Amino acid sequence: MLNLERLRTLDALARHGSVSGAADGLHVTTSAVSQQMSKLEREVGQRLLARNGRGVRLTDAGRLLADHAARILSQVELAQSDIEAQRGEVVGEVRLAAFPTAARGLFPAALTTLRADHPELTLRTTELEPEAGIRAVLRGDVDLAVVLDWSNKRLPVPGGLTKAELLDDAPDIAMPAGHPLADRAEVGLEDFADDDWVSWPEGEFCHDWLMFTLRSKGIEPRIAHLAGEHHTQLALIAAGFGVCVAPRLGRGPVPEGLRLVPVRQTMRRHVHAVWRTDADRRPSIRAAVSALRAAGRALHEPAPAGAPDGSGGRADLS
């Protein structure tokens, strides 16, 4: 009889390509991965791993069993989803990932709702950029990821995943208060052809989007500074070091000395939740999507009279 946890370890090895990667994905030690694989090899009576330089690779038998393991684990997830759906109770554990501004802008409200409505549900969260979030869902490291794309640049979603829209996020352009365009009611990206830009790190989806969008307008962007955190980007802008795209989701208070002006084109970040289709019937997934959508809707509601908007004068998400 094949042991399910050992098959899960083999599947993680096949997906991650290394013992250390499998250990990180399974949240165990590398020695635990090696022990599980040794036991699995004894169970099947064949070598499943072979040395490959300083690492390991799957043997032919290992790849064959790994293919079966992926199908078996998928069926187990379907069975768990069906059992949860039949019970109709939101219980167990759900692991959520989101890109940083969504984690900041959506998770506090959504998790509060889930904890109040479903006290037997255990919640775990982490921050991951969109492409990494999708990979984590595919690997089974998280159950649901909040990801984004733009109206002019879509994020591919592989087969086997289900996607649900959560909200649209309208961006502004952040510039120093003394910038010649700071008093405009709205601006276009092409208005900043001669400005230095503060962008996300190279290789991130939003950085690639910015380069693609500016170049499509005939502008070769001058990227002067790279920063992953929006608060760092805005601090650089306030100090006079260029301009940046400043989405509104999760923005929070902004520093003195800068101006946020809406972009006049119909340009939106689309924020989605993605999860494995095998888990589609899990009540916990449905509850999480519902809570995230409610948190997104609340961002569109006007703030109470006299409440600070935290955006430097432009807080609405319309």
What are the tens digits of pLDDT across the range 98-130?
999 999 999 999 999 999 999 989 999 999 999
Asked if pLDDT for residue 284 goes beyond 80, the answer is yes
| Backbone conformation region of residue 142, classed left if phi is above 0, alpha if psi is from -120 to 50, else beta | beta
Average of per-residue pLDDT across 212-236: 93
How much of the chain exceeds pLDDT 90, in percent? 50
pLDDT of residue 253: 85
Asked if pLDDT for residue 47 goes beyond 70, the answer is yes
pLDDT of residue 86: 57
Half-sphere exposure (Cβ direction) of 57: Cα atoms closer than 13 Å: 5
Rounded to whole angstroms, how far apart are CA atoms 96 and 74?
19
pLDDT of residue 294: 96
DSSP characters for 197-250?
Answer: EEEPPTTSHHHHHHHHHHHHTT---EEEEE-SSHHHHHHHHHTTS-BEEEESTT
DSSP characters for 49-103?
Answer: EEEETTEEEE-HHHHHHHHHHHHHHHHHHHHHHHHHHHHT---EEEEEEE-HHHH
pLDDT of residue 306: 41
What are the tens digits of pLDDT across the range 53-100?
778 889 999 899 988 988 888 777 777 766 666 566 787 889 999 999
Average of per-residue pLDDT across 134-163: 88
pLDDT of residue 187: 94
Rounded to whole angstroms, how far apart are CA atoms 29 and 168?
40
Asked if pLDDT for residue 305 goes beyond 70, the answer is no
What are the tens digits of pLDDT across the range 200-223?
999 899 999 999 999 998 999 999
pLDDT of residue 236: 95
Which of the two residues, 239 and 304, has the higher pLDDT score?
A: 239
pLDDT of residue 75: 79
Give the residue carrying structure tokens 């919640």: 123
Query: Which two structure tokens, joined as six digits, stand for 60?
Result: 């032919």
Asked if pLDDT for residue 304 goes beyond 50, the answer is no
Which of the two residues, 226 and 141, has the higher pLDDT score?
A: 226
Largest CA distance in the chain: 74
Which is it for strands 258-262 and 171-176: parallel, antiparallel or unpaired? Answer: antiparallel
Q: Mean of the per-residue pLDDT values for the chain?
A: 86
178-192, 210-224, 235-249, 267-281 — which is least confidently predicted? 267-281
Give the residue carrying structure tokens 């208005």: 191
Residues 6+ apart with CB under 8 A from 151: 266, 267, 268, 270
Q: pLDDT band for position 302 (50/70/90)? A: low
pTM of the model: 0.72
Average of per-residue pLDDT across 239-253: 91
Rounded to whole angstroms, how far apart are CA atoms 137 and 210?
26
Average of per-residue pLDDT across 226-243: 94
pLDDT of residue 303: 46
pLDDT of residue 81: 65
